[in-house]
């Protein structure tokens, strides 16, 4: 059983078409980047995703109205320190996928085990179609670090594999080739940290795919699977996560957000 706490590490706004397939391009919607802090039954700490490392990097080439901001008091390391957690105390860093706003801060945790899907890893180090990597921000220096410094602790998992006791990887694809959701047991029931497979509660409740996709077909297949997960789904970028769990701890059963069965 784990406790799951959201840490907001950066915010911006993006055109609706980024969050919603075939959505409008002229409407901007707010998004938040999260790292999820898991505390295990043994008191060990784990992170799922890592948030934004540098606004200068991520904002390069972006129009001003779409710039990311990160509160200097709310960087990932500051938020961990505020909880008395040193980087060395993070046992595992688990990634939903390899986009910048999810994986860029992996090198802050050189002693942590590093978990991601084999499919996602192969999609960046041996891409079958490099053109797919052009459209979003892929931090190649982080992958180089993973090959160099992170290599002894790199663990590549497949669909259905247990990542930690009480935590299972679901390799769904759809958003990126190896996008992975993680089903995590908590005392109040199971939670699925969906990554960018589900950007917002609206994607989930309306069954509306996100705009950034490598496979629409995989998305619908994975969505059907999530609907049978019997778990609370947590989207990756919805500011409403903060509003729903103002104390920071995600507790299933507090909020009913399962999509309606037709
Ligand atoms: Zn992404």
8 Å CB contact between 241 and 248: no
The closest of 196, 148, 180, 261 to 20, measured between CA atoms, is: 196
What's 3-244's CATH class?
A: alpha beta
Domain boundaries, the chain: 3-244
Q: How many CB atoms lie within 10 A of CB 3?
A: 16
Interval 77-103 mean pLDDT: 97
Looking from the CA of 21 toward its CB, the CA atoms found within 13 Å total: 19
Distance 137 CA to ligand 1 centre (A): 9
8 Å CB contact between 116 and 123: no
- Name the residue with tokens 């995703």: 49
Distance 154 CA to ligand 1 centre (A): 20
Tokens matching residue 70: 């990160």
Q: How many CB atoms lie within 10 A of CB 146?
A: 22
Mean of the per-residue pLDDT values for the chain? 94
Distance 98 CA to ligand 1 centre (A): 7
Distance 42 CA to ligand 1 centre (A): 31
Distance 15 CA to ligand 1 centre (A): 15
8 Å CB contact between 259 and 207: yes
Interval 174-200 mean pLDDT: 96
pLDDT tens track for 112-153: 999 999 999 999 999 888 777 766 678 999 999 999 999 999
Interval 211-216 mean pLDDT: 94
What pTM value is reported for the model? 0.94
Dihedral, CA of residue 138, residue 142, residue 147 and residue 150, to nearest 10? -140
Q: What does the pLDDT read at residue 262?
A: 42
The closest of 181, 165, 242, 174 to 208, measured between CA atoms, is: 174
Distance 202 CA to ligand 1 centre (A): 17
Q: What does the pLDDT read at residue 253?
A: 78
Distance 216 CA to ligand 1 centre (A): 15
Distance 210 CA to ligand 1 centre (A): 10
pLDDT tens track for 223-256: 999 999 899 999 999 999 999 999 999 998 755 5
Please report which confidence band the pLDDT of residue 183 belongs to, taking 50, 70 and 90 as the band edges: very high
Distance 61 CA to ligand 1 centre (A): 18
Distance 97 CA to ligand 1 centre (A): 7
In order, the DSSP letters of 70-120 are --GGGSHHHHHHHTT--GGGEEEEE-S--SHHHHTTGGG-TTSEEEEEHHH
Tokens matching residue 16: 């609706």
Distance 99 CA to ligand 1 centre (A): 5
Beta bridge partners of 48: 36, 94
User: Residues near 23 by Cβ (< 8 Å), separated by ≥ 6?
Assistant: 15, 16, 17, 211
> To the nearest whole percent, how much of the chain has pLDDT over 90?
89
Q: What does the pLDDT read at residue 250?
A: 96
Query: Looking at the predicted structure, is the pLDDT value of residue 261 above 60?
Result: no
Q: How many CB atoms lie within 10 A of CB 16?
A: 16
Query: Looking at the predicted structure, is the pLDDT value of residue 29 above 60?
Result: yes
Query: Looking at the predicted structure, is the pLDDT value of residue 82 above 60?
Result: yes
């Amino acid at each position: 059983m784990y406790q799951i706490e959201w840490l907001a590490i950066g915010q911006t706004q993006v055109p609706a078409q980024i969050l919603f397939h075939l959505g409008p391009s002229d409407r901007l919607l707010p998004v938040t980047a999260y790292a999820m802090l898991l505390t295990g039954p043994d008191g060990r700490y784990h992170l799922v995703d890592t948030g934004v490392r540098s606004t200068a990097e991520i904002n390069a080439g972006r129009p001003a109205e779409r710039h990311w901001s990160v509160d200097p008091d709310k960087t990932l390391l500051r938020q961990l320190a505020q909880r008395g957690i040193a980087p060395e105390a993070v046992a595992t860093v688990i990634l939903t996928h390899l986009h910048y706003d999810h994986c860029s801060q992996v090198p802050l945790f050189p002693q942590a085990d590093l978990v991601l899907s084999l499919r996602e890893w192969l999609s960046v180090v041996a891409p079958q179609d490099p053109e797919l990597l052009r459209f979003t921000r892929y931090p190649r220096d982080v992958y180089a670090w993973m090959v160099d410094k992170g290599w002894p602790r790199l663990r590549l998992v497949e669909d259905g594999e247990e990542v930690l006791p009480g935590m299972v990887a679901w390799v769904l694809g759809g958003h990126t080739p190896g996008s992975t959701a993680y089903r995590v047991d908590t005392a109040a029931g199971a939670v699925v940290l969906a990554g960018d497979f589900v950007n917002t509660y609206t994607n989930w409740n309306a069954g509306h795919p996100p705009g950034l996709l490598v496979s629409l077909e995989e998305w619908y297949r994975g969505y059907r699977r999530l609907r049978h997960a019997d778990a609370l789904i947590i989207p990756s970028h919805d500011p409403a996560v903060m509003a729903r769990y103002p104390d920071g701890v995600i507790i299933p059963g507090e909020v009913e957000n399962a999509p309606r069965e037709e």
